[in-house]
């Protein structure tokens, strides 16, 4: 998944021949999981049809303040459009539009929306060579950047006039890559490595049976996505789980037993900046695993169990610079037990949830947590989806680190 996945992108199209490339641009954004809305200047419809862009974006295309529907006039609210977007891209941005953006001229819906936007604004100039090199255009480019707008530089190549030189709009793939790189470079965990464990472990009794628990891995996978969306390089060590994750910043390592997870954690821990151990690791395993399937008998079966390795405590013992976060799932004396684990296992924080709380625990889509830091300061959160809980956890960690 791209950093643009789930983001709302407003694409502004002006009247340049490069407007024909915006069909590919919309498709690329949609393919990356973004939600796209399009605003066109009236003149831009001479270069590409609103129907094409509406079909590709799966959203209505706007170009005027008012639209007629039957006998009614509908107002396209430029303020709502500007507030809706996570990112606003104006491509192609003609010399005419650049000048109007600089001077606050507001004679069409696109420009009114630009002046109302609260999100980052990217612009990709497109015009002929002499127009691009003109001092007024250079002034417009410099002014817009001084306003905080982000320039996607024009490239050199064959232009519509037949001339060859600078002024050609960047290709759609390059525009998307530029925006992704720019967003990633500004994320708070850019350059950080995060180790996350998720899911249950299965401790073999014989070749068929195992000791396990009801953990689905949903919480750990949500945390992995949240960390990656903040720019981190994530190593996700997962026990058996049906959960899926597709993100270019996440590397998934599949394990089965507590011993497998112990080995994998120690392999990646030293190079990690943050470690979040949310897996529900089995506390015990059979002392002796049967080589053959144990046959059912009428008599009772007695099995001797032995403790598994305490992965969290073992990492706490060798911790150097890492920010180490544990999880505690409790049924009684929750706060006291969680605080005890912080001290015993040398943690920087612990995420507590209780099976007493409705909607929390295994196999649910929601969770209710309390985060306790190493100073034993408690921060409770309301019941939320695990996706939102994951964001809360990562935001708290970022706050502690920055």
Q: Give the single-character DSSP code of 331.
A: S
Query: Which is the catalytic residue, given 213, 242, 254, 333?
Result: 213
203/153 Cα distance (integer angstroms): 57
Reduced to 3 DSSP states, what percent helix, strand and coil does the chain have, rounded to the nearest 5? 35, 25, 40
For residues 76 and 64, the answer to whether their CB atoms sit within 8 Å is yes
> Torsion-angle region of residue 87: left (phi > 0), alpha (psi -120 to 50) or beta?
beta
Spatial separation of the C-alpha atoms in residues 46 and 108, rounded to whole Å: 16
Long-range contacts of 46-51 (CB under 8 A, 24+ apart): 46/15, 47/15, 47/16, 47/17, 47/19, 47/20, 48/13, 48/19, 48/20, 48/22, 48/23
* Distance of alpha carbon 227 from alpha carbon 234, whole angstroms: 7
C-alpha to C-alpha distances, 131 to 22, 85, 125, 126, 135, nearest whole angstrom: 21, 30, 11, 9, 9
Question: Among this protein's residues, is 367 annotated catalytic?
Answer: no
Instruction: Work out the angle between the directed axes of helices 95-103 and 135-146 (0-180°, nearest 10).
Output: 50
List the catalytic residues. 213
């Amino acid at each position: 998944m791209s950093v643009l996945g789930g983001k709302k992108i407003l694409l502004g199209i002006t009247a340049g021949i490069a407007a024909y490339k915006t069909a590919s641009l919309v498709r690329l954004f949609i393919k990356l999981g973004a939600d796209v809305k399009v605003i066109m200047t009236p003149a831009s419809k001479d270069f590409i049809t609103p129907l094409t862009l509406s079909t590709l974006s799966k959203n209505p295309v706007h170009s005027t303040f008012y639209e007629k529907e039957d006998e009614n006039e509908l107002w396209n609210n430029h303020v709502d459009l500007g507030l809706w977007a996570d990112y606003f891209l104006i491509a192609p941005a003609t010399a005419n539009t650049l000048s109007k953006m600089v001077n606050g001229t507001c004679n069409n819906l696109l420009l009114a929306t630009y002046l109302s936007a609260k999100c980052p604004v990217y612009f990709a100039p497109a015009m002929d060579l002499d127009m691009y090199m003109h001092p007024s255009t250079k002034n417009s480019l410099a002014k817009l950047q001084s306003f905080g707008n982000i320039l996607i530089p024009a490239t050199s190549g064959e232009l519509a006039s037949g001339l060859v030189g600078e002024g050609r709009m960047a290709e759609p793939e390059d525009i998307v890559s530029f925006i992704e790189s720019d967003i990633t470079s500004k994320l708070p965990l850019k350059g950080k490595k995060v180790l996350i464990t998720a899911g249950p472990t299965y401790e073999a009794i014989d070749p068929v049976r195992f000791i396990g628990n009801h953990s689905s891995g949903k919480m750990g996978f949500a945390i992995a996505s949240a960390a990656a969306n903040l720019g981190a390089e994530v190593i996700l060590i997962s026990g058996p789980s049906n959960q899926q994750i597709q993100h270019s910043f996440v590397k998934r390592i599949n394990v089965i037993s507590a011993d497998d997870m112990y080995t994998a954690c120690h392999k990646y821990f030293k190079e990690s900046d943050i470690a979040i151990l949310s897996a529900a690791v089995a506390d015990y395993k059979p002392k002796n695993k049967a080589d053959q399937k144990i046959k059912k008998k009428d008599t009772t079966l007695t099995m001797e169990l032995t403790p598994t390795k305490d992965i969290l405590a073992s990492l706490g013992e060798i911790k150097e610079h890492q920010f180490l976060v544990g999880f505690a799932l409790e049924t009684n004396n929750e706060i006291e037990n969680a605080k005890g684990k912080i001290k015993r296992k040398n943690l920087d924080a612990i995420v507590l949830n209780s099976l007493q709380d409705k909607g929390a625990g295994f196999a649910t889509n929601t969770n209710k947590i309390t985060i306790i830091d190493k100073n034993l300061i408690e921060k409770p959160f309301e019941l939320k989806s695990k996706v939102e809980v994951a964001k809360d956890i990562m935001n708290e960690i970022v706050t502690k680190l920055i």
